[in-house]
Every structure is written in C-alpha cells, then in structure tokens.
Amino acid sequence: MSGFLEALRVQRWDDHRYYHHSRINQSLHFISAISFLCAYVMLFFDPAIAALIGWLVSMMTRQAGHFFFEPKTYDHANQATHEHKEEIKVGYNLQRKVVLMSIWALSPLYLLFDPTVFGLLEPYHGVAEFIRSTAKIWLALGLGGLLFRTVHLFFIYDVQTGLVWMTKILTDPFHDIMLYHKAPLALLRGELIDPGIGQHNRDEDEEEEMFAETEPRGA
C-alpha cells in the first residue's frame, strides 16, 4: 500500500511540475475541480446532467488551460523540452487530448444518423431529449476514455501504474482544489507563472548535493 501511495504522490508531483506552470491554467483547474465535484454529486441524482457539467464546464476549462495558456517553450525549471514532456506524459498528452476532444465534439452528430445508438438509447424527440441523449454518449465516452488509458498503461508500464493513474484522475478535483485555490489571487496580483515550481526543484537539487557531499566514499 505504501508503494501505491508513493507512486500516486510521484504522479501528482510530476503532473504539477511539468504541466501546470501557468497561473491561468491553475486557476482554470481550480474552477474545473469545483465543477467536477458538482458533477460527482449529480451522478447520484441525474447522470446526464453530471455529464453535461463534466464536459461543458470541467473539461472545457481544464483543457483550455493546457492548450492555450500553458507554456510550450523550454522548461528551465525542469530542464525539459515540451516534446520530452509530451513523450513521458503518463496520461493523455496534448496529441491524445486532441483525439479525445475531437471524438467528444463530433459524437452528437452520430445521433443524427442513429438516434438509438445501436439500440442502446431511446429515440429522442425534440431538442431537450437530443441534449440528454448526447449527455449519455458523453458519459460513456468519459468512462471509456478513463478505462481505455488505464488498461493501456497496464501493457506499456504495469498494472500498478494504470491503477495509480486512474486513482489520480478520479481524485484530481479534490487535490486540485487544495493545490490551486490560491492561484486566482496570485493571478490578480499579476503573477502569470508559478515561481514555486522552480524553487522546489532548486531545493531538491540542493538536498541531493548535500547528501552526495556527506555520503561516505569508498577507498
């Protein structure tokens, strides 16, 4: 269990330090996290409404932060290029997100050709029912995207990595609120980039250097 929690901590820290430098992105994640929690509650009462909140509010704000506001230049804090960060991304990198968001945006069109979606849904009558049918497709897409990447990670890494990533995704709203609740105020002060990421990395480097200096050396 301790190994699982440590892997979860590492995935969360890597996600933060590599992909959440922008205070705008952090603020949008804060909004996204709050709306995701609302969606979680609505899952018990009206799953279709939960899917609409999750995709139209939570996912749109979250992904807008990554696509439009997160720097794509060389990451001096982590000494990594954007291409390298995309390559080592455990979850959905920007290329995979483009595919996922494209499927999401185009999925309502399928209802025009097959209103029942292979007999799984009742035929819609009117705009309101069309929206609810769309929401059900989006709910299935969200669950499918989560399970697909989890199982995919089983094969390209190992089972624990996949389960840790799934746990991280499901608990991200709670963690993001704790992590980014101060981001809007920092943004209002004119702070566009989080200085704490670089400082944390420098502190880690200094600790490693001190450890290396005090470590006994062989004869």
How far apart CA 38 and CA 211 sit, in angstroms, is 45
pLDDT of residue 192: 95
DSSP 124-160: P-SHHHHHHHHHHHHHHHHHHHHHHHHHHHHHHT-HH
Rounded Cα distance between 192 and 121, Å, is: 46
Residue 198 is predicted with a pLDDT of 65
pLDDT at 205: 47
Rounded to whole angstroms, the Cα distance separating 152 from 102 reads: 20
Residue ranges of the chain whose pLDDT lies below 70:
198-219
The pLDDT of residue 197: 85
Domain boundary assignment for the chain: 2-214
pLDDT of residue 200: 55
- pLDDT at residue number 1: 76
